[in-house]
């Protein structure tokens, strides 16, 4: 059994991986660590876990937190994982970090990211960066194996955009500076902490854009798409919140470099994802939306061409807390321990 | 493997049991029957099932619908199951019916029910009624075994009220004519068919009472509570809809027959449900609500006493589509086939 | 023109009265006072007011806050209004306080209330208590005239229960200790401050009970009903939150003291409220709910009798921020200044 | 007083104009016409109007429906207004039509529109088309005067896109074939009729794209933008539904034709709309969204430039039932009768 420790267990990212680990056939939860609610069983914070995960949250200094494990999930904001990484690795465990700390594997690319989002540009563990891999299995499956020690779990918006555009940029279908990512997220993407903008009365019948000056996921989107394209890709990115709980729907646009029919593009997409169990490709007639991936690790793509304006249009749907966070984290764990990628993740969700 | 057929597969009740059967270790779906959407894979109607249940819906007359199975779920409204029952039994299968058709096991008690809700009082298969059992395992576990052929799956509101009040009436704690059931349901309880009252703009910020003249679940509530009490119990019942999707919260009140402390009542409740894995008992300080049973088969009860007014107050929470419908149906199937009651049902749900 | 000052202008109670005053034909806003967001135009906090109320929020110590006005609304929590009252009165203004500070007009009744909710039992201005009137115009219209200086604006749940039960208790229709108030509120009732329970992801598909040990509005409900009944009335009260923004729906029950038909009770109710423009009485067949009073000062009552169990059942609907707060406050202001009670309040709301 | 008749009174478009007319100082409702719910007071269908509009709905053949009026609102789908227009004009009344019937003023441009949406291309009253004006006052105020007899009220999405892009295309700021309109609407835009996609359980936590093959509002958007640009403009348009009731948020993008700063563009926008009371222009730091125009006739624009990708980005917010429908209709009526454009429309809305 894979022994797992979750740091930041009390947040949505933490409880998400706990839910998945609790029913995973090859893993068990060894410790839940957080700096708030210390001493409380996780099921006190999340009563639905009563009888399923009554493990107590411990302080990072607690001996329970320091026991030997096989994998550590740092479900923590930027700046935490990088400080813990060396200790995790020294203990023999692997690290799967939710933040931007290990999404970039050179000190320089990290510094560019950090600078864009206004953080300290000096990484706390620059020597470890080359060991990290960007944890989007659909693109980096080959680098996610048992020799890998550190994974930078991708950002939720980034997952939706990268999966939605990679086949197109790889095949040179769109002008590299023409790409627009118009992205809507459900509110759970903002995490567990209450704030004015996510207070029910202020949110229930409301939609709005935010961070127009620049969103932290743009760097990784452009890096990954540029890698696929073999040349620089730049995106115009608009983050939006709408009153759903779970779900991201990204409308992705690019100026086509040539006349091509939707059917042909769909073929290229299906081919690109043929070994990827969690990506499904649909055409413009599909009546799907965010609810059809809720609670699952799937990414559903509608691939379309607007011939009148010569635009590629892709609509990408994920559950921001699953494929956009804990689901990808578990998928990465599976790969790092030589398990089938889908272990413990092949669930359809519930409807309605 | 238990071969299961679902009649009325295209509705919420149908897809609910399909979701559960699809991941059940001892059952498989043999046929999906409905009178609409015939020929379409269920995953066309419910795209989240793509890859999980792509079985085509067939017409009742289709040979596929007529194949031999071990259990038939009639996820159909009143009046359908009673017409199909004899044929199901003759084929050697067991019947689990979602409607009121087999919740009463004499022609007379059925007639009283039918009369109260304005239906034809003559049952279509009166000879089968004595074979039926009311499918609430927590009260009738002993009658739900491999000899049983017909189960009348309980009504959603009824489950919440009966589980919330049975220990109290059994112990004679409340005046039998003083009981009030103030019940709020999520909208999914009304099923899949669009209607004016459940149209999103008319519902999203709206709560209302309905059927003040009498709700169809009152008969079974009074019958079951009277059985537990050993004497007639009558309830004042108020059905309400609130803008949640899944969930029932019933506030249940009764005039206490004696001074008793909440702790003592809680003790009686825990004792009553000690063999029932899906019932959890909490005190008034629990911070729980409908979301903590969403997607699960649990019934969470808050048991409380208002000493100032000498009232028992119980708050009962279930997922109307799970413990209130498909979950109970699967629990009943498990019992009818000699499996542990919790098989395929021990899930915590997801949060948020 | 009535010059009005609003203290606590930045909260939902504050912006509610501002919206009403901004379109009132006989009043104008002279000052907006708060301790947070000082210096910001109210339309910065509430952009819908851009061009309608761009007045800056000032600190209580600001000269603008100290200018002479005719009426002061203290849209503040318990304990604030009582400290400011003497100064308001000395300046010649009238005080309409939103909290429990002036809902009780003897030091002793205040102390009982304060004790029940765990506050300091000594009132800060006991000498002023006899001057205060409970600001529910439908019951105390006669005491709300130009000589009145202090109004204790009623609690939102209290308004719904008192209006729903007053005619019944006045006519002795129900047993005085049998009354049950099962009350559901929308989330805006909790005010503007974000908190865990009202964070969108934790609230959107959730309903729950709270404060089972005792809600602060019970005292005033029992006091007012006892006054109407001419004898003690005690209520069992259950506060609940459901995911609507604005709205209270209270289901009110009482054991009937005699056989009486619903029609007769409805007649008594219509008679009781015949001079009250904001109360509408419906029978059990009305298809109404909380959305039909949203944004308005109306209280819609469904009056019903359950003959089988000999219970009175009344369903009371208000907008918690209007009739339950700012609307009643403005209604009270109108009466205190000799205006028709409905001035600036006769609005239908919008649908959907 | 302007005597108004509303045809299609029972739908959301009908009740919207009724709400506005009921409080308009210079108009009164003379007749409500519909083909369903005939004989019922409008307040039966919409109980919030009890006491505000209890006028009975009459059949088109009813004498009440045929009385002389000054203005007729046809709150009806495509194909109805064109058949009634001649009779309305002959009676001396003006016609304000909600559908696409009079948004195009040549038989040919109508035929192109009709063909794109799959309707009969022959207009029923081609002779009247040259008399019609497109009822977006911000662009056609000069043509909306007392001589005007027919107004084609604009489509809701179209209002948001045209107002959001007109200043930019007029000033040649964006490449005319590069424009992308990524538009999200609340559910009320689909009208009152229940359907599977707007059934609460299927909608509450769901967002999706629809009509990818072509939306009926594209024609009028391109026509109006082309008029402003003085040359052909083509847009890629993506319609989306999100779970809000009222509100449209359109994210509008265009490739800039030159380097220009956001401040400068904002200046051009403010200048363009300086006589338009209902358009407000904000910069990228504004924390506004759809809720801040709910229940109002405003269009709030965020105007932004993404210098990294040389894109113009405008976010346009309206209430689809107000500025997107009934509000614009009333604004048009005001102009047609020589009243100030804002009469009866200058309302801030309520929050939350």
Mean pLDDT by 10 residues, chain B (352 residues): 98 98 98 98 97 97 97 98 98 98 96 94 97 98 97 98 98 98 98 97 98 95 98 98 98 98 98 98 97 98 97 98 98 98 97 97
As a whole number of angstroms, the distance between CA D230 and CA D237 comes to: 21
Query: Contact D15/C351, CB-based, under 8 Å?
Result: yes
For CA atoms B13, B14, B15, B18, give the dihedral sign. Answer: positive
Q: Looking at the partner chain, which of C12, C196, C204 has a beta carbon nearest the beta carbon of A245?
A: C204
Q: Which of A186, A216, A208, A149 is nearest to A12 (CA)?
A: A186
As a whole number of angstroms, the distance between CA D82 and CA D14 comes to: 18
Chain A: nearest CA to C11, how far in angstroms? 12
Query: Contact B253/C244, CB-based, under 8 Å?
Result: no
Q: Looking at the partner chain, which of D19, D246, D280 has a beta carbon nearest the beta carbon of C348?
A: D19
Chain A: nearest CA to D175, how far in angstroms? 12
Query: Contact C47/D300, CB-based, under 8 Å?
Result: yes
List, in order of start, the domains of chain C with CATH numbers. Answer: 2-154+323-336 (3.40.50.720), 157-320 (3.30.360.10)
Q: What is the arrangement of strands in the sheet containing C132-134, beginning at the earlier edge strand?
A: C57-58, C27-33, C2-7, C71-74, C94-97, C150-152, C132-134
Contact D212, D287 (CB under 8 A): no
Chain A residues with beta carbon closer than 8 angstroms to that of D251: 182, 209, 238, 240
State the count of interchain CB pairs (< 8 A) between A and C.
56
Ramachandran region, residue C20 (left: φ > 0; alpha: ψ -120 to 50; beta: rest): alpha
Chain C: nearest CA to D251, how far in angstroms? 19
Q: Which of D345, D288, D348, D352 is nearest to D317 (CA)?
A: D288
Chain A: nearest CA to D291, how far in angstroms? 5
Percentage with pLDDT > 90 across chain D: 99
Q: Looking at the partner chain, which of D208, D210, D352 has a beta carbon nearest the beta carbon of A201?
A: D352
Query: Contact D201/B198, CB-based, under 8 Å?
Result: yes
As a whole number of angstroms, the distance between CA B17 and CA B34 comes to: 14
As a whole number of angstroms, the distance between CA B184 and CA C251 comes to: 11
- Coil, strand or helix: which one is C228? helix
Chain C residues with beta carbon closer than 8 angstroms to that of D351: 15, 19, 46, 48-49
Please work out, in degrees rounded to the nearest 5, the angle formed at the alpha carbon of residue C140 by the alpha carbons of C135 and C142: 125
Chain D: nearest CA to C312, how far in angstroms? 24
Query: Contact C205/A12, CB-based, under 8 Å?
Result: no
Please work out, in degrees rounded to the nearest 5, the angle formed at the alpha carbon of residue A122 by the alpha carbons of A119 and A128: 120
Confidence (pLDDT) at B185: 98
Q: Looking at the partner chain, which of B48, B295, B296 has a beta carbon nearest the beta carbon of A292?
A: B48
Query: Contact C199/A204, CB-based, under 8 Å?
Result: no
Chain A residues with beta carbon closer than 8 angstroms to that of D161: none
For A190, residues 6+ apart whose C-beta sits below 8 A from its C-beta are A197, A198, A241
- Coil, strand or helix: which one is B336? helix
Nearest CA in chain D to B205: D245
Chain B residues with beta carbon closer than 8 angstroms to that of A47: 286-288, 292, 300
Chain D: nearest CA to A8, how far in angstroms? 27
Residues of B with active-site annotation: 156
ipTM: 0.97
Residues of C with active-site annotation: 156
Burial class (CB in 10 A: 0-12, 13-18, 19+), C29: buried
- Cis before residue A211, ω within 30 degrees of 0? no
Biggest CA-to-CA distance, chain A: 64
| pLDDT bucket at A14, cuts 50 / 70 / 90 | very high
**What pLDDT tens digit does each residue of chain C (352 aa) get?**
999 999 999 999 999 999 999 999 999 999 999 999 999 999 999 999 999 999 999 999 999 999 999 999 999 999 999 999 999 999 999 999 999 999 999 999 999 999 999 999 999 999 999 999 999 999 999 999 999 999 999 999 999 999 999 999 999 999 999 999 999 999 999 999 999 999 999 999 999 999 999 999 999 999 999 999 999 999 999 999 999 999 999 999 999 999 999 999 999 999 999 999 999 999 999 999 999 999 999 999 999 999 999 999 999 999 999 999 999 999 999 999 999 999 999 999 999 9
As a whole number of angstroms, the distance between CA C101 and CA C83 comes to: 9
For D230, residues 6+ apart whose C-beta sits below 8 A from its C-beta are none
Contact D195, D261 (CB under 8 A): no
Q: Looking at the partner chain, which of B186, B201, B311 has a beta carbon nearest the beta carbon of C236?
A: B311
The two structure tokens encoding residue A63: 């001996």
Summary count for chain A: helices (H), strands (E): 11, 14
Which residues 191-250 in chain C show a CB within 8 A of chain B? 197, 201-202, 205-210, 212-213, 234-236, 238, 240, 242-247, 249
Query: Contact B296/A48, CB-based, under 8 Å?
Result: yes
Helix A12-22 vs helix A327-336: angle between axes, to the nearest 10 degrees? 50
Q: What is the DSSP letter of D326?
A: I
Query: How confident is the prediction for chain D on average, in pLDDT?
Result: 97
Q: Enumerate the β-bridge partners of residue B31.
A: B5
Chain C: nearest CA to A217, how far in angstroms? 22
The two structure tokens encoding residue C154: 């009623």
Neighbours of chain C (3+ CB pairs under 8 A): A, B, D
H or E element that contains A88: helix A81-90
Compute CA distances D94 → B326, C109, D87, D91, whole Å. 57, 64, 10, 9
The two structure tokens encoding residue D202: 């299927």
Confidence (pLDDT) at B7: 98
Query: Contact D284/A213, CB-based, under 8 Å?
Result: yes
| A77 part of contact set with chain B, CB < 8 Å | no
| B110 part of contact set with chain A, CB < 8 Å | no
pLDDT tens-digit series, residues A123-167: 999 999 999 999 999 999 999 999 999 999 999 999 999 999 999
Compute CA distances C333 → A193, C97, D26, whole Å. 39, 11, 29
Confidence (pLDDT) at A326: 98
Chain C residues with beta carbon closer than 8 angstroms to that of B219: none
| D49 part of contact set with chain C, CB < 8 Å | yes
Query: Contact B205/C238, CB-based, under 8 Å?
Result: no
Confidence (pLDDT) at A316: 98
As a whole number of angstroms, the distance between CA C262 and CA D255 comes to: 68
As a whole number of angstroms, the distance between CA C71 and CA C26 comes to: 12
Chain B residues with beta carbon closer than 8 angstroms to that of A294: 48
Neighbours of chain B (3+ CB pairs under 8 A): A, C, D
| D280 part of contact set with chain C, CB < 8 Å | yes
Query: Contact C48/D205, CB-based, under 8 Å?
Result: no
Choose the mutation target among B44, B196, B198, B199 for the interface with D, i.e. most D CBs under 10 Å: B199
Confidence (pLDDT) at B214: 92
| D352 part of contact set with chain B, CB < 8 Å | no
| pLDDT bucket at A275, cuts 50 / 70 / 90 | very high
H or E element that contains B167: helix B156-170
As a whole number of angstroms, the distance between CA A209 and CA A241 comes to: 6
Chain A: nearest CA to C135, how far in angstroms? 26
Chain D residues with beta carbon closer than 8 angstroms to that of B193: 199
Q: Looking at the partner chain, which of C208, C234, C255 has a beta carbon nearest the beta carbon of B290?
A: C208
As a whole number of angstroms, the distance between CA B322 and CA B154 comes to: 11
Q: Looking at the partner chain, which of A287, A296, A351 has a beta carbon nearest the beta carbon of B15?
A: A351
What's the gap between Cα D340 and its chain centre?
19
Chain A residues with beta carbon closer than 8 angstroms to that of D289: 206-209
State the count of interchain CB pairs (< 8 A) between A and D.
143
How many other C-beta atoms lie within 10 A of the C-beta of residue D108? 12
Q: Which of B110, B135, B134 is nearest to B124 (CA)?
A: B110
- Coil, strand or helix: which one is B235? strand
Q: Compute the 3-state secondary structure of chain C and give helix, strand, coil in percent, each to the nearest 5.
A: 35, 20, 40
Query: Contact B348/A48, CB-based, under 8 Å?
Result: yes
Q: Which of B64, D67, D177, D347 is nearest to C51 (CA)?
A: D347
| B187 part of contact set with chain D, CB < 8 Å | yes
State the residue for tokens 């990414």.
A299
Q: Which of C73, C102, C100, C86 is nearest to C8 (CA)?
A: C73
Chain A residues with beta carbon closer than 8 angstroms to that of C194: 194-196, 198-199
Query: Contact A236/D209, CB-based, under 8 Å?
Result: no
Q: Which of D328, D349, D351, D330 is nearest to D339 (CA)?
A: D330
Chain A: nearest CA to C243, how far in angstroms? 8
Please work out, in degrees rounded to the nearest 5, the angle formed at the alpha carbon of residue A204 by the alpha carbons of A200 and A210: 90
The two structure tokens encoding residue B47: 């795209």
| pLDDT bucket at D139, cuts 50 / 70 / 90 | very high
Please give the average per-residue pLDDT across D277-301, as a whole number: 98
Nearest CA in chain B to A17: B350
| D259 part of contact set with chain C, CB < 8 Å | no
């Amino acid at each position: 059994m894979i022994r797992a420790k979750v740091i930041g267990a009390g947040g949505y990212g933490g409880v998400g991986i706990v839910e998945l680990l609790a029913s995973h056939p090859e893993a068990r939860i060894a410790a839940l660590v957080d700096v708030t609610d210390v001493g409380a069983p996780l099921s006190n914070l999340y009563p639905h876990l009563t009888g399923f995960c009554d493990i107590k949250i411990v302080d990072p200094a607690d001996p329970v937190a320091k026991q030997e494990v096989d994998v550590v999930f740092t479900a923590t904001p930027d700046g935490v994982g990088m400080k813990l990484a060396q200790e995790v690795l020294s203990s023999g465990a692997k690290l799967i970090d939710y933040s931007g700390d290990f999404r970039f594997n050179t000190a320089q690319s990290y510094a560019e990211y950090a600078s864009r989002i206004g953080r300290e540009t000096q990484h706390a563990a620059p020597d470890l960066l080359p060991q990290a891999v960007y944890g989007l299995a659909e693109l980096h499956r080959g680098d996610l194996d048992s020799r890998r020690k550190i994974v930078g779990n991708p950002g939720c918006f980034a997952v939706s955009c990268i999966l939605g555009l990679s086949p197109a940029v790889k095949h040179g279908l769109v002008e590299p500076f023409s790409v627009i990512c118009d992205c809507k997220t459900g509110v759970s993407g903002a995490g567990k902490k209450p704030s004015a903008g996510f207070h029910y009365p202020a949110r229930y019948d409301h939609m709005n854009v935010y961070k127009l000056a620049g969103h932290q996921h743009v760097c990784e989107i452009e890096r990954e798409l540029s890698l696929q394209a073999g040349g620089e890709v730049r995106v115009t990115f608009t983050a939006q919140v709408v009153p759903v709980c779970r779900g991201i729907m990204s409308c992705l646009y690019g100026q086509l470099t040539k006349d091509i029919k939707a059917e042909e593009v769909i073929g290229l997409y299906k081919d690109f994802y043929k070994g990827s169990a969690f990506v499904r490709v649909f055409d413009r007639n599909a009546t799907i939306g965010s609810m059809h991936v809720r609670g699952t690790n799937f990414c559903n793509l509608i691939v379309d061409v607007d011939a009148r304006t010569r635009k590629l249009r892709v609509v990408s749907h994920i559950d921001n807390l699953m494929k956009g966070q804990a689901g990808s984290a578990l998928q990465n764990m599976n790969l790092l321990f030589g398990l089938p990628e889908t272990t413990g993740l092949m669930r359809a969700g519930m409807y309605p």
